């Protein structure tokens, strides 16, 4: 490996409080500075739960500068945590049970030993970055995904600094989800299928489905005109979400244009999609992952993702003149089929 090559630095910052201030006051300014000075060629972050609540920061840097950047980054983070620590009185058994539930939801496998691997809060650990090749369709798929993560981090930075309430961020997530369907080139029929599938991805995270869907139905009816206006704007090609929306749609459109020929040739194929499925299902699965990781960055969790997908789906069904009670949905290895 020559000194001109790029390497990834991967810092896991364990913090058991709201991670928004950690990001807006420390980590994102550090990322911006490293970008501005040319030290970080690409950078992204992700909130995660394994081994305890933490933020993962990935920095792609020149090998010859890696040690300096690592040392300076660690000094800044540990100094901040010393002055602004999060809670340190963690109940390992309670946290372990919570982590075990999350493991079951995410992987389908229980993890009774989760509490034994909890790392201390207010700490930084350098843990190698392991790209998720299967999820993103292989090395060429990861190359596209990392560019999306890099650009999405810039978009998320703007959102986190400009939108400070969880409720308002759900509105942003609704816009991003619909803009993603437009970047995919979907019409309303395709959009309805995609949105129902996105909803189904996260329905397992709902603690009381019947109660929540009843509440969401009421919410949709209460503001139906606003949701329909948004769906109309998407279908009519109008500007949505101002600068952030334009940047998001651009980056997803560029990613789709890059992966489409690779999916068609079979060079990129996400593991979750059966190889017998149409190529478009693989493209849509990748856009789902790009959207999910961005929602993670702006602190919209799976239950919130299910909620905004439901609202968007209802709005598109309204445009199509379809009563949601007439819809039957089947989830297959090839995607989601919707019959009405």
Where does 6-126 sit in CATH, by number? 3.30.70
Backbone angles phi, psi at 185, to 5 degrees: 85, 25
Q: Is 118:92 a contact under the CB 8 Å cutoff?
A: yes
Distance CA 260, CA 61 (A): 29
Return the beta strands (E) in 67-109 as ranges.
none
Entry field: residues in the chain:
340
Q: How far apart are CA 84 and CA 19, in angstroms?
A: 12
Q: What is the pTM of this model?
A: 0.93
Furthest-apart CA pair in the chain: how many Å?
Answer: 62
Block residue for tokens 């395709």? 190
Ordered by start, the domain boundaries in the chain are 6-126, 133-339
Task: Decide if pLDDT at 104 tops 90.
Answer: no
The kind and range of the H/E element at 338 are strand 335-339
Q: Per residue in 46-80, pLDDT tens?
A: 999 999 999 999 999 999 999 999 999 999 999 99
Q: Residue 38 contacts by C-beta under 8 Å, 6 or more apart in sequence?
A: none
Min mean pLDDT across 203-217, 295-309, 323-337 is at: 323-337
Residue 334 clears pLDDT 70, i.e. is over it:
no
Average pLDDT, the chain: 93
Structure-block tokens of residue 47: 């909130």
Cα 317–Cα 318–Cα 322 angle in degrees, nearest 5: 60
Question: pLDDT tens for residues 136-189?
Answer: 999 999 999 999 999 999 999 999 999 999 999 999 999 999 999 999 999 999
Contact call for residues 297 and 169 (beta carbons, < 8 A)? no
Whether 14 contacts 53, CB under 8 Å: yes
User: Measured between alpha carbons, how far is 321 from 317 in angstroms, rounded to an integer?
Assistant: 6
Q: Which among 180, 178, 267, 183 has a CA at the least distance from the CA of 226?
A: 178
Tens digit of each residue's pLDDT (9 = 90 or more) over 109-137: 776 666 568 899 999 999 999 999 999 99
Is pLDDT above 50 for 330?
no
Q: Provide Rg for the chain, Cα atoms.
A: 21
């Amino acid at each position: 490996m020559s000194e001109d090559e790029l390497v990834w630095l991967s810092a896991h910052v364990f913090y058991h409080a709201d991670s928004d201030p950690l990001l807006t006051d420390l980590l994102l300014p550090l990322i911006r500075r490293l970008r501005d000075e040319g030290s970080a060629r690409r950078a992204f972050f992700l909130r995660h739960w394994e081994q305890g609540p933490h933020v993962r920061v990935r920095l792609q840097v020149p090998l010859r500068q890696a040690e300096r950047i690592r040392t300076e980054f660690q000094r800044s983070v540990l100094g901040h945590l010393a002055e602004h620590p999060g809670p340190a009185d963690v109940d390992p058994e309670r946290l372990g049970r919570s982590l075990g539930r999350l493991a079951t939801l995410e992987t389908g496998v229980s993890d009774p030993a989760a509490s034994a691997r909890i790392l201390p809060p207010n700490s930084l650990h350098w843990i190698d970055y392991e790209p998720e090749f299967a999820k993103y369709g292989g090395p060429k798929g990861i190359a596209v995904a990392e560019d999306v993560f890099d650009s999405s981090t810039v978009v998320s930075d703007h959102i986190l600094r400009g939108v400070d309430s969880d409720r308002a961020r759900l509105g942003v997530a609704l816009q991003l989800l619909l803009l993603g369907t437009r970047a995919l080139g979907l019409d309303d029929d395709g959009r309805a299928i995609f949105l129902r599938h996105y909803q189904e991805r996260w329905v397992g995270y709902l603690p009381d489905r019947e109660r929540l869907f009843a509440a969401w139905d009421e919410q949709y009816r209460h503001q139906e005109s606003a949701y329909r206006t948004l769906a109309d704007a998407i279908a009519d090609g109008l500007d949505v979400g101002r600068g952030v929306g334009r940047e998001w749609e651009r980056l997803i459109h560029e990613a789709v244009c890059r992966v489409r020929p690779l999916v068609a040739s079979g060079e990129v194929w996400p593991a979750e999609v059966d190889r017998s499925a149409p190529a478009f299902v693989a493209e849509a699965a990748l856009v789902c992952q790009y959207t999910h990781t961005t929602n993670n960055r702006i602190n919209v969790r799976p239950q919130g993702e299910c909620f905004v997908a439901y609202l968007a789906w209802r709005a598109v069904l309204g445009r199509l003149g379809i009563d949601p009670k007439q819809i039957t949905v089947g989830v297959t290895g090839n995607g989601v089929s919707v019959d009405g």
